[in-house]
A and B are shown apart, each in its own frame.
Chain A
């Protein structure tokens, strides 16, 4: 197994770069990060639409969310891979295909996270903001969303983990991400499939587990900063010192 690692680690990490496109682990992480960043504005828009009081905004978005979550990501990848070229006129490469599919998927899931985040802010906050004379838009922007986004952070990191795992679907359409590279290595080496696939799994585990620990850490830090419920015993501030924005 050691020789395996020694011979192929660079190929596994970055694919054929610079003699070819970026591949391997680097491609996986890059694709996932790019997808999540591009999906954020989509998610924000969808989340706001789902909590909106305007039915014409809320209903179509709810339907879209149900449909997208009701089909496999792979199916969406196939639709885009086989049919987008006929719509746009030129062939879409694997990276772009996966990116579009991931942005759509992540957008919907982020929309759910945003919705949960907004609905998690106590109703009294919105009422207090409106009672002060702030309009709906300002109340959302200055009072609700800042609190919602803070509480969403652990979920966002978890969504990043999901996205990293989802990039593995690129294998099926020939994208040179980590799983694809691993299979290529396996077909060259041929006699150690167990080692190859165990190492692949190990890589994913280290990456994803590490990130989910970060999410847990963020969640814990936030729990300490939370506003306590009213009716507390006198003179005992919560987390004393380090509460800076």
Chain B
């Protein structure tokens, strides 16, 4: 579904993405992890063109999406994106947040959009909050609404940029639960996350990134038990025993 081919990106002098070659198949759940600044967020943001690339190609559903002349809005309506900071629209109710895109971009009739949105809110467990304002919800609830909002256009691909990093620990679970539901439904997901437990349980594949490169790709079990690349080993060691590092 997604194919990265020799993708490179620079921020001025800084080489943010280095010779990325990767494929994500339909129905796959891929977790991208790595230290801060490794380029994980940048990578998924290039898929819906929130970031541009400097060389190489990225193909989505067979089409090169970074070439000029691509219908950007149509592309983005086929990719759902969930932000770390939720980014719900505070001046619209929860329901209106979810019907905005289907009506404005998809051309749906309000009644139709309304119905679909309610079904999605029900799926994430927040149908009873449909007429609430985002400011009235907790972080975990806001993020679940954000997921429903992203699902409203029925995209074949969902991207998650550290969806639980901004949440208090006790709310992380409710969001991961929703994401697990998406996995069970067979959706294609690419998730940037620090939640190693979730990755182990749910991912089909793990990509480890550092300094703009994909250094290791493996199935979760392989990756977490027997990491091959030294930097991956260091990363996992740091996560497990943060105080063990001496030098």
Q: Do chains A and B touch in the complex (CB under 8 A)?
A: yes
The reply to whether A128 and B87 form a contact with Cβ atoms under 8 Å apart is yes
Which of A5-13, A60-68, A102-110, A220-228 has 4 or more CB atoms under 8 Å from chain B? Answer: A220-228
Q: How far is the CA of A146 from the CA of B89 in the complex (A)?
A: 10
List A residues 199-245 near B (Cβ within 8 Å): 225-228, 230-240, 243, 245
A134 touches B135 (CB 8 A): no
Q: Is the CB of A230 within 8 A of B166?
A: yes
Judged by a CB distance under 8 angstroms, whether A168 is at the interface is: no
Cα A142 to Cα B102 with chains together (Å): 13
Shortest Cβ gap from B246 to chain A (Å): 32
Partner of B87, one of A125, A234, A235: A125
Task: Give the nearest-CB partner of A125 in chain B.
Answer: B87
* Chain B interface residue count, Cβ-Cβ cutoff 8 angstroms: 41
Least CB distance from B96 to A in Å reads 10
- Chain B contacts of A124 at CB under 8 A? 83, 85, 87
Partner of B73, one of A134, A146, A234, A237: A134
How far, in angstroms, from A175 to B73 measured CA to CA in the complex?
54
Contact yes or no, A134 B104, CB < 8 A: yes
The answer to whether A142 and B135 touch (CB under 8 A), given A125-B87, A147-B90, A147-B91, is no
Task: For the A-B complex with A127-B50, A128-B87, A142-B100 known, give 16 more contacts whose Cβ atoms are closer than 8 Å.
Answer: A127-B83, A131-B81, A132-B153, A133-B74, A133-B75, A133-B76, A133-B153, A134-B100, A142-B104, A146-B91, A147-B90, A230-B84, A232-B139, A232-B168, A236-B138, A237-B136
**A interface residues with partner B (beta carbon < 8 Å):** 122, 124-125, 127-135, 138, 142-143, 146-147, 150, 225-228, 230-240, 243, 245
10 contacts between A and B (CB under 8 A): A127-B83, A131-B150, A132-B76, A134-B73, A142-B100, A147-B89, A230-B84, A230-B142, A239-B136, A243-B133
